[in-house]
Amino acid sequence: MPQRRAPRVSYRNGEVSLALAQSGTLAVFGFGAGAQAMEDPRCLQVGLECFDETPPLELWQVDAPVSHGRDVGVRWARGGGWLFAAIELDERDHGGPRDTARQAYEQLRRVVGEQAERHVLRIWNYLGAINQGEGDAERYKLFCDGRAAGMGDFFAADGFPAATAIGHHGARPTLQVYLLACDQPGARVENPRQVSASRYPRQYGRTPPSFARAMTLPAGDVLAISGTAAVVGHASAHADDLHAQLVETFSNLDALLATAGMAEGFDTHSPLKAYVRHPADAAQVREFIARRLPGVPVLLLHGDICRRELLVEIDGWRYA
């Protein structure tokens, strides 16, 4: 079987209905409370506000016809060997962040595990008040407990996928999880500057975060980059210093590209997201990235990083 060409990911302005009508549309994402909601399972309203005056849509497209549907709360779309799947759960119906995460991952595991496209390559997690609570009772740590319980041994064969976990500021305590899977496995990429997240010491919770720093997609032509911040070894660096954290974050991005065997830097076909904790910092983050990566499409979103001392996190795609 020839290796699968990766979906094309881009940011577009325009109507959701027009994006969904385009050939090969696997998923369309709108951002913030003002994003247009649609019944189509391929359309997801992400609970993160965008700092752009007119937030663009994020569009995933494949070179094949796409079918779509719903399966007991899980929305899905498939085409050309690729699968988009997503679930949204209200914590008030499921007992808090731990039990909600367990339920979400159990349902995703069941649905994805029954598909030919069962190799999960990339996951996004958005939950409210991610830093609330102390010690093992912090909401992010409870989420990690529930995620691990829900996924069980599903990733035992392929290893953990690339992932992002960000806190949203929505009015409802909603957990959103969505993923990209394929009928062929990818290749995990770790960062030599960082301890593997699955091997974090006990101080980061009962259950270490379970993700790869990046994932090379099956054809080897695209790197899916996990949420990347100013972490060196396993420790946060430059607490509360935005500029220093941005510099460190880009050092980690450079290390990931080098480890994956890709040329340094990003181009106009490699979209990124920057999650910014404090709205007042958005302009500085935008200016820094524009100087460092001129012309690269970057979506700037208001989101809390999983460690409260970290101010910014970046993820995205690097096309060869």
User: In the chain, where do the E strands start and end?
Assistant: 8-12, 25-31, 43-46, 49-50, 57-61, 67-71, 74-79, 82-90, 119-128, 162-168, 174-182, 187-189, 214-216, 222-228, 231-232, 235-236, 272-276, 298-302, 312-319
Beta bridge partners of 84: 77, 180
Give pLDDT tens digits for 222-241: 999 999 999 999 999 999 89
- Per-residue confidence at 3, pLDDT binned at 50, 70, 90? confident
**Is the distance from CB of 46 to CB of 27 less than 8 angstroms?**
no
Give pLDDT tens digits for 83-137: 999 999 999 999 999 999 999 999 999 999 999 999 999 999 999 999 999 999 9
pLDDT of residue 2: 73
Q: Is 313 a catalytic residue?
A: yes
Averaged pLDDT of the chain: 96
When the candidates are 3.10.20.30, 3.40.640.10, 3.90.1150.200, 3.30.1330.40, the CATH number that belongs to 8-319 is: 3.30.1330.40
Give pLDDT tens digits for 87-98: 999 999 999 999
Its pTM stands at 0.97
Among residues 88, 91, 138, 313, the one annotated as catalytic is 313
Domain limits of the chain?
Answer: 8-319
